[in-house]
Amino acid sequence: MSVSSAQVTCPTGQVKCKGKCVNLSIDAKNCGACGKVCPTGYTCVSGQCSLQQCPTGQVNCGGKCVNLSNDANNCGACGTVCPTGYTCVSGQCSLQQCPAGQVNCDGKCVNLSNDTNNCGACGTVCPTGYTCVSGQCVLQQCPTGQVNCNGKCVDLSNDANNCGACGTVCPTGYTCVSGACVLK
């Protein structure tokens, strides 16, 4: 003769949940009540879902065990997030090691030999029309038909401030045509 699960009597301290006997004070799938499941990382203690004890060197941050000395999302304290490009070292956000040939300029790894905003030194910005070559601001090569006049590419055939030659300025009322100042 078989006994139905409805007729099964549970031992002392246990109750029937979905036909099985469980201890509501320690069962993580039935914690404090039938069907009440504890989240991942939690255990059932005295009928309450509790975060499992974190291992030595870790703390509970929002229900997760983390190491505050190297967790970039909880660096030094729960919720302290390191900016992009930084890592958590000994509980402090630190710029990641720059690759060979680059240096740290205001929290960013740059190559001083070709960065127009940090040319030769952090913060040295090349003027408009210049590029950084070997750590020096150098005028970009002028397009065909233009020449370099004091760091600016100009067309000597129609530039009223450099008409026919660098620095030759057409007088008021004149314009530059084919490299000569002519009355408008």
2 occurs within a structural domain = no
Q: What is the pLDDT averaged over residues 41-60? A: 82
The pLDDT tens digits for 158-182 are 999 999 999 999 999 999 999 999 9
85 occurs within a structural domain = yes
104 occurs within a structural domain = no
Do 131 and 151 fall into the same domain?
Answer: no
Give the model's confidence band at 62: pLDDT under 50 very low, under 70 low, under 90 confident, else very high: confident
Burial class (CB in 10 A: 0-12, 13-18, 19+), 33: exposed
Lowest mean pLDDT among 28-37, 59-68, 162-171: 59-68
Calculate the dihedral angle through the C-alpha atoms of 112, 115, 119, 124, rounding to the nearest 10 degrees: -120
- Does residue 104 have a pLDDT over 90? no
What is the value of pTM for the model shown?
A: 0.37
- Does residue 5 have a pLDDT over 60? no
The pLDDT tens digits for 34-45 are 999 988 777 888
Lowest mean pLDDT among 36-40, 60-64, 67-71, 91-95: 60-64
Q: What is the pLDDT averaged over residues 53-67? A: 83
103 occurs within a structural domain = no
101 occurs within a structural domain = no
What's the rounded Cα separation, in Å, for the pair 116 and 120?
9
5 occurs within a structural domain = no
What's the rounded Cα separation, in Å, for the pair 18 and 117?
69
**Among all chains, which residue has been given the structure tokens 């020449």?**
147
Q: What is the pLDDT of residue 94?
A: 81
Do 44 and 66 fall into the same domain?
Answer: no
**Among all chains, which residue has been given the structure tokens 């070709």?**
114
CA distance to 4, 88, 120, 136, 137, per residue, from 133 (Å): 87, 35, 9, 5, 6
| Local structure of 104: helix, strand or coil | strand
Q: What is the pLDDT of residue 3?
A: 44
105 occurs within a structural domain = no
Do 118 and 89 fall into the same domain?
Answer: no
pLDDT higher for 51 or 166? 166
Domain count, the chain: 4
- Does residue 1 have a pLDDT over 50? no
**Among all chains, which residue has been given the structure tokens 């979905």?**
18
Q: Which domain holds residue 90?
A: 59-95
Q: What is the pLDDT of residue 83?
A: 84
Do 45 and 63 fall into the same domain?
Answer: no
- Does residue 106 have a pLDDT over 80? no
